[in-house]
Amino acid sequence: MLNKLKKISLSNWILIGMILGILVGFILNFWVTDPFIKNIILMDNVFYFGGTGFIRLMKMLVVPLVFCSIIVGVSSISDIRKIGSIGGTTVLLYLLTTALAVSIALLIAGIIKPGVGLHMASLIEQSNVTVNQTMTDTLLNMIPENPINSLASGDMLPVIIFGVLIGIILAKLKNETQTFNKLFSEGNTIMMEMTSIVMKFAPIGVFCLMARTFAGLGVDGLLPLSKYILCVLIGLAIQGFIVYPTLLVIFTRLNPLKFFRKFTSVMFFAFSSSTSNATIPLNLEKLSELGVSRDVSSFTIPLGATINMDGTAIMQGCAVMFAAQAYGIDLTTSALLTVVFTAVMASIGTAGVPSVGLITLTMVFNSIGLPVDAIGIIMGIDHILDMFRTAVNVTGDAICTIIVSFRSKSIDLDVFNGEKEIEKTEIEYFD
């Protein structure tokens, strides 16, 4: 029995914690009438401590995790100089698709309004949301006056800018700054391990957050959650089957149906594995079968698995609107643009650790002052959505790679169009 429990994955434990939390919340809401047991013992102490404690652990990770990840991610792009315009075009495409993804998510969530009806404002004392800043203020606030103070206070936009600048300098002075490169690389490794440790407490945290939420909200909380799932899935479908094919046609005039016909197996593998990194070898192989030069794909695909997280950006955009609507907060245009910028930059620092997208979501929430408690509500269903997000992520990597290959004349169009077969050769996936 114990061995069977050990085999259950963390994602499934989180899902179990969510379901049990909802059930316990319903039981407390409809069948427990004693206010001392329900409110004082459970909601205000046991569940409050478990849920708030886990949220604080997540907050603890945000600044050092994102700071180290962004520095390591940006500094690793030094190879761009070796392949010239290919690297620059790749990065621009990845950032463009991510910006489009989060913008689409914000638009869809603004129309469907998944958080309306989930009255969360009563569960917090106050909210410190950036809703009144002008665009000039938003841009100025990105520039760190005191980087150390920004790190200490968790002011994420200046932290991101400071991290990007350090990463660029380390990339430029790589041979002269090996000690610092190693320092941040090892710091990033430490934070990845710490993230893994903290996420082991996620099932308990999710259980407490869900139980406390639904004990106070009841059945009315299910509709907004289902609408949130719908928002994310619609956003992913638009990104995967409208935005990507449109970009492929605009930049290459190639037929998207021919791409999807061969690439479907990669999408299903990414869906089942929920990890972009594990899909890299299969992605490289299929792109070779589509006529893409290995010289291009061996750079763009591993880079895309690191910095191109369109599916995660869609989830973050929907989650921001969900939380803002649930707490009754109106976000201004400058706040929404801040979300777009922060989500795009967060994609650079998103690492291949399970549920790390939720950690960077905390950063996006903090960038405009949204309460992070709402993350606990959506965390339980994150694994289900994560499978769809990963399929979209790897599809975006492949489409951008084909566009870059076309522009650099590194794709055999006859092979892509199925007019000739590529000779099967053994592919070395990693140097």
Is 421 inside any structural domain? no
Query: Does residue 274 belong to any structural domain of this protein?
Result: yes
Nearest by Cα to 67 from 359, 275, 393 = 359
Within a domain: residue 331? yes
Domain limits at 15? Answer: 10-416
Number of domains the chain is built from:
1
Instruction: Tokens for 131, please give them.
Output: 């809703």
The closest of 385, 354, 176, 200 to 277, measured between CA atoms, is 354
Band (246; pLDDT cuts 50, 70, 90)? very high
193 within some domain = yes
Separation of CA 314 from chain center: 8
Q: How far apart are CA 409 and CA 420, in angstroms?
A: 18
Name the percent of the chain in helix, strand, coil, to the closest 5.
Answer: 80, 0, 20
| Cα 159 from Cα 376, distance rounded (Å) | 25
- What pLDDT does 231 receive? 95
Cα separation, 227 vs 378, whole angstroms? 11
Task: Flag whether 70 is in a domain.
Answer: yes
Give pLDDT tens digits for 80-132: 454 456 778 888 899 899 999 999 999 999 999 998 877 666 555 444 444 44
For 17-49, give one letter per residue: b (16+ CB within 10 A) or e: bbebbbebbbebbeeeeeeeebeeebbeeebee
Q: SS3 of 292, please? A: strand
Tell me the pTM.
Answer: 0.72
Per-residue pLDDT, averaged over 41-60, amounts to 86
427 belongs to a structural domain? no
Tokens for 420, please give them.
Answer: 């000739």
Q: Report the alpha-carbon distance of residue 114 to residue 112 in Å, rounded.
A: 6
pLDDT in tens, 380-422: 677 678 878 889 999 999 999 999 999 888 899 989 988 766 6
pLDDT exceeds 80 at position 227: yes
Per-residue pLDDT tens digits for 359-380: 778 878 888 888 877 787 777 6
d(CA 305, CA 284): 12
Burial degree of 265 (CB within 10 A; 0-12, 13-18, 19+): exposed
SS3 403: helix
Measured CA distances, 301 to 105, 314, 401 (Å) = 24, 20, 7
Q: Got the DSSP string for 328-373?
A: T-PPPHHHHHHHHHHHHHHHHH--SSTTHHHHHHHHHHHHHT--TT
240, part of any domain: yes
Q: Residue 236 sits in a domain of what CATH number?
A: 1.10.3860
Whole-angstrom CA distances from 252 to 153, 240, 247, 393, 408 are: 46, 17, 8, 20, 11
Please report whether residue 366 resides in a domain: yes
